[in-house]
Amino acid sequence: MTPTAQKLTTVSHALAGKTMTGAEIIVQVLADQGVDVIFGYSGGAILPTYDAVFRYNAKHQDQAGKEPMPLIVPANEQGAGFMAAGYARASGRVGVVMVTSGPGATNTVTPVRDSMADSTPIVVICGQVPTPAIGTDAFQEAPVSSCLGPVAKHTFLVTDPERLEATVRTAFEIARTGRPGPVVIDLPKDVQNWSGTFRGEGLLPVPGYRQRLHAARENVLSEAKCARFFGMLEAAKRPLIYAGGGVINGDATVELRRLADHFGIPVTTTLMGIGAVDTTQPLSLHMLGMHGLASANYAVEDCDLLIAVGARFDDRVAGLPERFAPKARNIVQFDIDPSEIGKVKAVDWSHVGMLKQDLQAILEYGIRHRIAPDFTAWHGEIADLKSTYRLNYDRESELIQPYAVIEAINAITGGDAIISTGVGQHQMWAAQYFDYKYPRLWLTSGSMGTMGFGLPAAIGAQFAAPNHLVIDVDGDASIRMNLGELETATTYDLPVKVLVLNNFGDGMVKQWQKLYYKGRLSASDKSLRKKDFVKAAEADGFEYAARLDDRKNLDRVVSEWLAFPGPAFLEVIIDPDAGVYPMVGPGLAYDQMITGDFIPNRAQVTEEDIDGSSMF
Q: Which of 297, 342, 295, 293 is nearest to 319 (CA)?
A: 297
281 as an active site residue: the answer is no
Nearest to 350 by CA among 286, 306, 396: 306
State the angle between helix axes of 77-91 and 109-117 in degrees (0 to 180), rounded to the nearest 10: 20
Residues 460, 111 contacting (CB under 8 angstroms): no
Choose the catalytic residue: 18, 61, 67, 140: 140
Which distant-in-sequence residues (6+ apart) come within 8 Å of 545 by Cβ? 534, 535, 537, 538, 568, 569, 570
Q: For the packed helices 223-235 and 355-368, what is the interaxial angle rounded to 10 degrees? A: 70
The letter for the amino acid at 589 is A
From 189, 497, 510, 526, active-site residue:
189
Neighbours of 300 (CB within 10 A): 24
Give the sign of the dihedral formed by CA 253, CA 258, CA 261, CA 266.
negative
Q: What is the dihedral of CA 108, 110, 113, 119, to 10 degrees?
A: -90
Q: Are residues 474 and 424 in contact, defined by beta-carbon separation less than 8 angstroms?
A: no
**Is 583 among the residues known to form the active site?**
no
Catalytic residue among 139, 364, 535, 543: 139
Calculate the alpha carbon distances from 22 to 161, 162, 170, 190, 197 in Å.
7, 9, 16, 9, 9
526 is catalytic: no
Do 542 and 567 form a contact (C-beta atoms < 8 A)?
yes
Half-sphere exposure of 295 (CA within 13 A, CB side): 24
Looking at 20, 24, 33, 77, which residue is catalytic?
A: 77
Helix, strand or coil, per DSSP, at residue 82: helix
Q: Out of 508, 513, 526, 533, pick the active-site residue.
A: 508
| Whether residue 565 has a cis bond before it, omega within 30° of 0 | no
Is 340 a known active-site residue? no
Strand ranges of the sheet holding 470-475, from the earlier edge strand across to the other edge: 442-443, 418-421, 470-475, 497-502, 568-573, 544-548
Q: CA-CA distance, 50 to 251, in Å (whole number)?
A: 33
Sign of the dihedral through C-alpha 274, 278, 284, 285: positive
Q: Where are the alpha helices (DSSP H) in 447-577?
A: 454-464, 476-480, 485-491, 507-516, 533-539, 554-563
Whether 77 is a known active-site residue: answer yes
Catalytic residues, by residue number, are 77, 139-140, 189, 508
